[in-house]
Amino acid sequence: MRIRDIAEADIPALLALNNAEAEAVNALTREGFEGLLRNAFAARVAEGGAGFLIAFDHATPPQGPNHAWFTARESSFAYVDRVVVAPAARGRGVARALYDDLAALARAERIGLLACEVNLDPPNPESLAFHERLGFQAAGEATDPRNGKRVRYLRKAI
């Protein structure tokens, strides 16, 4: 599966995909999506728009309370802000490929930790199970003050 940087031409379709999954990843305006891309350590898309991943690192100024939680606790990390896979592409290894790609980018920058959060309320058991299969471990929990969502913070050494 080919994975590459997100290009300007990808934005409309990826924004629509993001917003179709707003319960899990929060809806964005085009301006908000472009802001994430500008600040990203990695902004990657799988071939044909099957899915995308946006990640920040430890050097990125905090991009909200969840990213800030890790910046307060870890000296070096790549934080997955969002990963979204199109419904028709689920179960085909797209998310795993995006995470593997991020891990390779992180290792190339001598970053040895992947971090993310997954919703507990509203529940996202599929994402929790996926991250567990990848070897992520719980690092803490919090309630996002922006939207009241309860999240579990996860980390994985790479």
| Per-residue pLDDT tens listing for the chain (158 residues) | 999 999 999 999 999 999 999 888 889 999 999 999 999 999 999 989 999 999 999 999 999 999 999 999 999 999 999 999 999 999 999 999 999 999 999 999 999 999 999 999 999 999 999 999 999 999 999 999 988 999 999 999 99
pTM equals 0.95
Indicate the SS3 state at residue 154.
strand
Euclidean distance between CA atoms 66 and 145, whole angstroms: 10
Domains, the chain, ordered by start = 3-114 (3.40.630.30)
Q: Answer yes or no: are the C-beta atoms of 50 and 87 closer than 8 Å.
A: no
Euclidean distance between CA atoms 59 and 143, whole angstroms: 24
